[in-house]
Structure 1
């Protein structure tokens, strides 16, 4: 794989046309055809069906200004894909928490919920009388494009301070993070838990991907995570340049994991089995929760 499928920008979902004119259920949910007054960005490649799934998203007003720390209520609504179908609310209202922006990132709203069935859904975020919609794809874990919890982690070499593997940069964060002491393949052989971050701080291309590496590195330094090994891998083997970025070669670990976007974060148990995964926005509270689950 030599192409990067970058996350879509704010407002892309707002232009999506959906069929059907009724919500089906759920008081307070704007109708499908109601004009949107907010942009909602759920910038993840895919969401998994099942219990306790994280949903993180950004919100901006029509002037593209981030909407921070608002009272946000969220509904999940099926998308009618045929004229004889009706959009139905399957969850909500769900209160979203807010994680403030750090460094260059955007503040992120997040919540945890159960999504029983795969399919296309609207994430309807309401703030008083205003609302916005982002469409997401929910897939069964067995059909995911990327490794899922319950599967064995893929052993692959990652660049370290001792062996850069010939890539242009071990870490593009300034200053470099402290998560390059051990390669992923070596970490998996230790029998210890592993926190694995795939991200490129310098070349992150969406507002909500934010400073995922620096956030994780700070968490690493201020908590008691037992003998967990923290590993960071850059995405590109060569420095991306302008329009050539989509064809820039990837580092071996990203190739091995088959990652079609970035950033991605995985927690891996001492048995080498993936315990959790997250892509797109990386709010600090979610990363902490995943690490707590790994070290409990």
Structure 2
């Protein structure tokens, strides 16, 4: 007899538990964990993926906020010396503290939709210790992450994540794979931090500023959205038509604009 009553998904934690074994196995095949690797699972829930990750023979640290799940996870997996449970909020967690010198973490998570974007940026700030990340996200978020210039879902989120990572939209997952079923489709994405940034910004904060300002008024032209930061002549000097709209400018173009603004700020100082 199960000593734990079934855990009810909590709305405040954005919980939707994965239960479809076909989907679970497909995710595990996509991650392809190996013996000797150091895996980190964010929000393991009731352990749907945890079991397969541990079966790979790798070390597994899990970070879970819901204290009601801690005894369930500890009972199921605590006897495995490769398993470590961390009780806390992934948004505040120091992932670098898990990595040994020279070691890279492989991060996995079925992320609650309400924290997925800030959590990805929290991880990207620690990307030096991460080999790759596999996340279950709302399908529309994955489309935004993967979109290129000129595509429907292209915008601030995709540009800033693609600055740091290669993005691969692996496959979609319908609501029926979860309990309770969410009201939206989901998708699996792989994020692989670049070993060398393809378009390095002189100051990433300036790049964030340029991209944020551009997409705050995405229907306006670059000349208008960047008014007060760069004039039309400065935009054109970087090989960008100032009458284009932000969604028509690729990552490399935004980095050139950011580097120009950073230079102008330094010269002004």
- What TM-score results when the alignment is normalised by the length of structure 1? 0.24
Structure whose residues are more often strand by fraction? 1
User: TM-score by structure 2 length?
Assistant: 0.26
